[in-house]
Amino acid sequence: MASTPPPPFPASAPVPHGRPDDTASRSRERGLGVAVLGSTGSIGTSTLEVIAASGGLFRPHLLAAHTSVGPLLEQARIHRPAWVVVTDSAAAATIGATALPAGTHLAVGPEALDDLVGAPEVDRVVSAIVGAAGLRSTLAALEAGKTVALANKETLVMAGPLVMRLAAARGAVLLPVDSEHSAIHQALRSGTADEVVRVILTASGGPFRTASRESLETVTPQEALRHPTWSMGPKITIDSATMMNKALELIEARWLFDLPAEKLAVVVHPQSVVHSMVEFIDGSVIAQLSPPDMKLPIQYALSHPRRLDGPARRLDFRQGLRLDFEPPDPVRFPAIRLGHEAAARGGTAGAVLNAANEEAVGAFLAGRMRFTGIADVCARVLERHAYQADPSLDDIRRLDAWARQEVVTWVSS
């Protein structure tokens, strides 16, 4: 597995990675079948809003959750998918025989989900399961050659080269749902791979953009969960507060767009209107602007290569628009340095950083770790791990488990 993943867009055609859309006729006839993995989370619920507003262009074929049975059953009642999947067997056992609407079937367990995402009725897979847990089902969808709208950045952070090689081998399409990577995907269409000088990811700076390093020592989970511009789930909101989210996005961009780490940069943009930028050799900087609303990148990934009218909010230039940019402070937010480091090293660095961060965020939310301890323990685990340059999937899973245990040990001590 030492081969290099293919470039996301060839020099002869300024179009990012993906095959031609061969499902347009099916979209007109019956709507494209969408599997929403992690349907009860923030991205999942926004995806269902986009589907409901599409006028029949998309239809929910499969909804999947782990333990959130109540919200999943309510979604099934409203959207009437062919399948609901509960990956936790104990949670599935609480579902009564008459809980599902007529025509909706129940499947249980991760193996069932792997099988169902490959069904011919599935035209698009939205991978929105949070964290490392989303890797397995994303790989199953790519193995089946599906078009995957990827909201689970951890898939590429953990196993970027493996994922991109699998997508290329199976003729699958990988489209980003993260607003930053969606913006980059769109901006890259303005030039060819050899014309790109720099890709600049924007960061809101989170709720502590202007806080002192000393004040960060006493931040509570409740304070960290108050994001100034985005409405997101708890884990990604904490990642935004530490700016670890941007660290992981650097690694994701490195693999998704086949860019060296030295061509990736981060700038703080508190308004969250410019979602990312691409600088080309002639000095042009191409940016994508929109209000901070995840429904737009979700819809872009579902409808690509077409653009559709939809439910996302619009910019109103009549109200005036201020755009500020500033460099991130590496002292207050050391996570970005860790992201650059892991993106440059490749191999197992991303998987270890991600696993350590997931475990540390959980400890912080549970009141067992200081806010500033998240980046500290991640740096420690990243430095101590037995690095491998070209790991197998088993190697990645083993080091994922090792990194989590290292954090548990560090917290308990």
pLDDT under 70 in the chain at which residues? Answer: 1-29, 229-231
* Assigned domain for 389 exists: yes
CA dihedral 381, 239, 158, 138 (to 10 degrees): 150
Can you give the pLDDT at residue 4?
Answer: 37
The domain of 228 spans 191-292+324-412
Last residue within a domain, chosen from 162, 182, 202: 182
* Assigned domain for 242 exists: yes
* Assigned domain for 285 exists: yes
* Assigned domain for 131 exists: yes
How many angstroms separate the Cα of 402 from the Cα of each of 328, 356, 407? 31, 9, 9
Closest by Cα among 268, 236, 266 to 250: 266
What lies within 8 Å, CB to CB, of 45 at 6+ separation is 39, 75
Q: Are residues 228 and 252 in the same domain?
A: yes
Q: Are residues 216 and 145 in the same domain?
A: no
Q: Are residues 159 and 196 in the same domain?
A: no
Q: Are residues 108 and 207 in the same domain?
A: no
Contact assessment for residue 234 and residue 323, using Cβ atoms and an 8 Å cutoff: no
Can you give the pLDDT at residue 285?
Answer: 99
The token duo for 3 is 């081969």
Q: Are residues 169 and 286 in the same domain?
A: no
* Assigned domain for 75 exists: yes
Judged by DSSP in three states, 264 sits in strand
Last residue within a domain, chosen from 153, 182, 211: 182
Last residue within a domain, chosen from 182, 203, 223: 182
Q: What is the DSSP letter of 128?
A: -
* Assigned domain for 12 exists: no
Q: Are residues 282 and 133 in the same domain?
A: no
Can you give the pLDDT at residue 130?
Answer: 84
Q: Are residues 156 and 197 in the same domain?
A: no
- For the chain, how many structural domains are there in total? 2
Can you give the pLDDT at residue 292?
Answer: 92
Closest by Cα among 250, 178, 180, 257 to 5: 257
Q: Are residues 159 and 252 in the same domain?
A: no
177-219 residue pLDDT tens: 999 999 999 999 999 999 999 999 999 998 999 999 999 999 9
Closest by Cα among 5, 4, 9 to 278: 9
Cα–Cα distance, 99 to 70 (Å, whole number): 10
* Assigned domain for 309 exists: no
Can you give the pLDDT at residue 26?
Answer: 52
* Assigned domain for 393 exists: yes
CA dihedral 79, 84, 88, 92 (to 10 degrees): 90
